[in-house]
Amino acid sequence: MSPPSTFERINAWIRHSITIKLLSIGILMLLLLIPASMVENLVQERASTRDVATAEVSAKWGGPQQFTGPVLVVPYRRLERDAKNQLLETTSYACFLPDTLSIDGSLAPERRQRGIYDVVVYSSQLRVKGTFQTASLADWNINPADIRWPEAFVAVGLSDMKGIRNSIALRWDGRPIAFEPGVPSPDVMPVSSAPQSNSLTAETQYTTRYAGTAEIEAAAGNNGPVTEAMSSPVPLPDAASLARKHTFEFTIALNGSSALFFAPLGRETRVKLQAPWPDPSFGGAFLPRQHSVTPQGFQATWRVLHLNRSYPQRWRTADFRPDVDNSAFGARLIVPVDEYQKNMRAAKYALLPISLTFLIFFFVEVLNRQRIHPFQYILVGLGLVIFYVLLLALSEHMPFNAAYGLAGLAIIGLVTAYAASIFRQRRLTLITAGVLLLVYGFVFVVLQLQDYALLIGSLGLVLVLATVMYLSRRINWYDTKDAAAETSAA
């Protein structure tokens, strides 16, 4: 019999080399990360579809609201020179914030459906009252003859004025005066925008678009649509009346969705908010001084002083326009289980079940001298990746925990049945099923314990590594022919 050729020896070495087998398994795992990353993109796409449905409902009902106001505005004539050194007459505005501002609000939340998605909307009643007592205009060196006292007005801003459900009358010193839409100049209102969404899509776009801290801080104000405004004329005949104390009060019925925030424009701002919603998220620059959350709903009160923010009580539009977004506060009505965020977190663990299942197959090859074709590895790996697609599809129609259990049982059953046809040994098949149950159970526990996910995950990985080191401690990695015998002897 002729000795084997060089090609036959190389072919035999490749077929029996543990190193080549490990390298091929590693390459297959890296290739399977491609469909795993596609699953993450699919989760983001479905979350975007949900956000579009939410935006469609909000566009008709009323979006996230930020209440900004009231602001007392006094217009005056201003002369300035243009590029040709000619005097031009323009109108500027002196803006004043209230001394005290008190808002008592109640929300009536409800769920609206858009296709398979739930959208949280609310109807609110806000009772707003307070006082104005401004300082003299003398330090601004404005000519008294240039001040247009009959044109003084009070302005109030909202993120989405489509949500207004009643005619609003300002009671100025007890005298009712109707609000009208719009203001003479947008500069009289502070820079303000709708509360930022806390959805998976918004978080992903926000963190991927702005890489540096400075860019994130610069973009923090670009949360949503710029505030719209309404105004009501008020009787201010002269500077003496401006310096006197004036009271104001009005009630507004307002529709919105998901969030209601307030800008603390008063020298002292007090807000009280209540709603029959058991899952609020208090956000913004200030947390409530007092709050209670029960299964029946929540109550919260805020008290903010003018010293807690960075803009003054008065300004001239020619010189300054404050940005109140960084000082706004309020409450979001959240859905306690966001299935897309949990799906995204679950998909990030895709490598764990793939690597451990491949590890079982590898040990079967080494210890039981049972060859497994790379195509069989690929089929098992694709089954493990499909788990996340099935989980996503099921979680859109049922609670996440139930969807996880059904998807896990389906994939574990599929992979176990396929392993049984490969191994043809009941013990190895049961080991494979047991490991898969442990892995998916471990991932499920990590998903539930969000605050301790890193700790539990790290301890789990250490335990897995210790188990692998123990099982492989007597394998002769250089002589595969004796590996099974040495391991059996151990």
Q: In this predicted model, what pLDDT tens digit does every residue of 477-490 receive, in sequence order?
A: 665 454 444 444 44
Residue owning tokens 């409450």: 331
pLDDT at 486: 44
For residue 165, pLDDT beyond 90:
yes
Q: Is 102 exposed, middle or buried (0-12, 13-18, 19+ CB in 10 A)?
A: middle
Q: Percent of the chain beyond pLDDT 70?
A: 87
Which pTM value belongs to this model?
A: 0.75
Torsion sign over Cα 231, 235, 238, 240: negative
pLDDT at 323: 93
Residue range 128-150, pLDDT digits in tens: 999 998 877 878 888 888 999 99
Q: Phi and psi at residue 260, in whole multiples of 5°?
A: -135, 115
Q: What is the mean pLDDT of residues 222-247?
A: 82
Average pLDDT, the chain: 84
For residue 216, pLDDT beyond 50:
no
Kindly report the number of other CB atoms within 10 A of residue 137's CB atom.
19
Which one of 108-122, 202-216, 322-336, 351-365 scores highest in mean pLDDT? 322-336
Residue range 284-297, pLDDT digits in tens: 999 999 999 999 99
pLDDT at 472: 78
Q: Is 179 helix (H, G, I), strand (E, B) or coil?
A: coil
pLDDT at 200: 54
Q: Percent of the chain beyond pLDDT 90?
A: 41
Higher pLDDT, 152 or 18: 152
pLDDT at 337: 62
Residue range 182-213, pLDDT digits in tens: 999 989 999 988 887 655 555 454 444 434 44
Buried b (16+ CB within 10 A) or exposed e, 74-94: bbbebeeeeeeeeeeeeebbb
Residue range 432-480, pLDDT digits in tens: 888 889 889 988 888 887 678 788 888 888 988 898 888 777 777 665 4
Which of 324, 253, 337, 256 minimizes the C-alpha distance to 284? 324
pLDDT at 15: 65
pLDDT at 250: 97
Question: What is d(CA 277, CA 189) in angstroms, rounded to the nearest whole number?
Answer: 32
Q: Residue 126: which pLDDT band, with cuts at 50, 70 and 90? A: very high
